[in-house]
A and B are shown apart, each in its own frame.
Chain A
Amino acid sequence: MTENILIGKSLSEETQLGVDDKALTKEQVMLKLDSVGVSYPDNRRFSRDKFWALKSVSLDLRKGETLGVLGRNGAGKSTLLKLLAGIIEPDTGTLFRRPGVHTSLLALQLGFIPDLSGRENAIMSCILLGMSRKAARARLESIFKFAEIEDAIDKPVSVYSAGMRARLGFGVAMEADPDILLIDEVLGVGDKDFRVKSKDVILEKIHSDKSVVIVSHDLATVEELCDRAVYIKDGVTVQQGSVDEVVSTYCRDGS
């Protein structure tokens, strides 16, 4: 690594693309983790202990690909997603993010307030996902159409059925359209018909030039959708490579 790589910092400057990364074709790397560790403070009083959720995770994500992250419960998958989403920072190792790249977690019903109407909640969610008020308003119509709740937009979300709420949440999340989409497990929401529809939209994103990270412990999902995979165990990258290789290591390790 070159000297402008800082330990424990998120790097986002163009100059900090390491010289030795040239082999990876520079412009294609969207995100790169190099032996990253993330610790959480211990919540007990006066304790200075730390809990290391990630110890040494390395992976890279290229433009347009779908990367599957395999790992069992407690492997550090949700910490990894928060790290990739820019919610938390690494404590050790380096994280490179391509400048100007917008990453977001597929979060449903982000910041919903039950007393407010579907319209107001949708605008709120869109703003939280990085849109301006104006842009949010402009997209309302297509969100409501997609979510199939056109008759209920001005009713408070508290009177919505669980399915309606899930559809609205999903509709908003799909409108946000980040460059890197991070998905945690669930690929379908709502009732049967909508589940098909929502899966279709996600597949569309996966097959587009968006970069997608899917975190799962479901092998079928990863085998079906991902171009490459990473296996993480106890906060350490065990293997990164083709889906077949990684899945077979994961299976062998499981028993």
Chain B
Amino acid sequence: MQLTDLVIYKTYAELRRDIASAYLGMLWWVLEPLLYMGAFYLIFALGIRSGGENFVSFLLCGLVPWKWFASTLMPACSSVLAHRGLIQQVYIPKAVLPLIPVAVNTVKFLLVLVLLLALLLALGHQPSLAWLYILPVALTQLYFILGCSLILAAVVPFVVDVRTLVNHGLMMLMFASGIFFDIQQFSPDVREFLYLNPMISIIESYRNVLLNSSQPDWTHLANVSGVSTVLCLLGLFLFRKFDRYYPKVMS
């Protein structure tokens, strides 16, 4: 089977379905993140925190990568289950199934990233060459998302309850990922602990690059890549082991 063709065409098909199934179609790819960011802006910037000048851009740089992460993980969790009918009819290597939501949401993220850069410019940030560092940062995040997606998709068919845990876990993690606060304000001990969450390092890297025009913290990115490698290998191992067992579990 042509696996790359399968992932590419399936991704295209999902995106096409997204467009076809809503009245406003593709506009939602921009509108939805805008509404999402707008809601948090209202709550945090105007309400609770009524933060300073730069709080808006600070918030946006956290929310955009977070949204990419969170909106990939839920469909990735269900990716094998969602194809239960298909895998009873034809053999597909199951490991390709979580790649589809990853690819779909990466495409959407790229669009929102452009939007974010435009918003930053509109807010008066000067573009700089350092913005190019966004590339390694985003690639590291993609790798992390891939690792999480593989392992979750591999486990969920056996223990469907994991999906509920992930749903709520994401909500909790959202508030522990430094989207709404700067972790530098904590004591070193607490910081050390918070850095165990890869999303903290990732979001901080985006801010370093986009808001301070400086380099990302390479050690942190390397750590995240290490974690992602472990997750990917573990996920692929499970898929390899249970590839032809999944149809039995889900029949």
Contact = CB atoms under 8 A, between A and B. Distances in A.
B53 interface: no
A89 B86 CA distance: 17
B67 interface: no
Given A85-B90, A107-B89, A124-B13, A133 B5 contact: yes
Provide the main secondary structure of the chain B interface. helix
B21 A128 contact: no
B89 A110 contact: yes
Interface string B1-13: 1100110111001
B: contact size bracket: 20 to 34
A156 B10 contact: no
Interface in B17-58: 17, 20-21
Contacts of A132: 2, 5
Contacts of A123: 9
A111 B84 CA distance: 11
Given A41-B249, A133-B9, A116 B16 contact: yes
A82 B245 CA distance: 12
Interface in A98-147: 104-105, 107, 110-111, 113, 115-116, 120, 123-124, 127-133
Nearest to B3: A127
Provide the main secondary structure of the chain A interface. loop
A113 B90 contact: no
21 contacts: A85-B91, A86-B244, A87-B244, A87-B247, A89-B245, A105-B90, A107-B90, A111-B86, A113-B17, A115-B16, A115-B17, A115-B21, A116-B16, A120-B13, A123-B9, A124-B10, A128-B6, A128-B86, A128-B92, A130-B2, A133-B9
The 10 closest A-B pairs by CB, nearest first: A107-B89, A115-B20, A89-B244, A132-B2, A133-B5, A115-B17, A86-B91, A130-B1, A40-B248, A87-B91
Given A41-B249, A85-B90, A88-B247, 16 more contacts: A40-B248, A85-B91, A87-B91, A88-B244, A105-B90, A107-B90, A110-B90, A113-B13, A116-B17, A116-B20, A127-B2, A128-B1, A130-B2, A131-B2, A133-B2, A133-B5
